Amino acid sequence: MFKFIQKIRCYLSKSNPTNIVKFSFECRSCKNPINFPNANAFFIILGVLANNKYTKVIYEKNQKQGARGNQYRIEIYTMNVYLKQYLQINFTAGLGNQILCRVSCKEYIEYLINNFHVNAPSTYNLSPIISTQDKNLIRNTIQTKYPQYLTCFDLGFNS
């Protein structure tokens, strides 16, 4: 019952800060940009990404292997209904049997790092470098800047 009430509150958030939250991100490594239909979807996915049971942010030193450059990726370990709904078009292949798929959109990942305190691994260690998320740090950023979307973030985190 709690999740149902949380979902209703999230979708009833009426203000849409299109001038302060970015909803579209160009991706060189995949054919389609990431486009969120609204702020609710953006904050739901941010909640999912803050939950370490679903995802990790990594930094791959791909340049040594002949790629264009080093880059951040979001590795997805467990599929989630919201990930499928909002990010599936941007999934690239996973690795091995633990990583189901990845999101390799540099613009999106750097936006999350710079604006929402998503933990990014330092770029000077050995590759790949994995970082886990601090839910409270991300949540406090939302509480301060976008309190009307805290319910959406919680919905994604607890899904």
What is the tens place of the pLDDT at every residue in 13-28? 555 544 457 778 877 7
pLDDT of residue 159: 87
CA distances from 115 to 2, 62, 136, 145 (A): 29, 25, 15, 10
pLDDT of residue 19: 43
Per-residue pLDDT band for 2 (boundaries 50, 70, 90) equals very low
What is the tens place of the pLDDT at every residue in 43-97? 999 999 999 888 888 887 766 666 667 778 888 888 888 888 887 666 777 676 6
Q: Which residue has the higher pLDDT, 8 or 132?
A: 132
pLDDT of residue 79: 85
Q: Which residues pair with 92 in a beta bridge?
A: 102
Q: To the nearest whole number, what is the mean pLDDT of the chain?
A: 78
pTM: 0.81
pLDDT of residue 57: 87
Count the neighbouring beta carbons within 10 Å of the beta carbon of residue 105: 25
pLDDT of residue 74: 86
pLDDT of residue 34: 85
3-class secondary structure, 142: helix
CA distances from 54 to 26, 32, 135 (A): 23, 22, 13
pLDDT of residue 63: 64
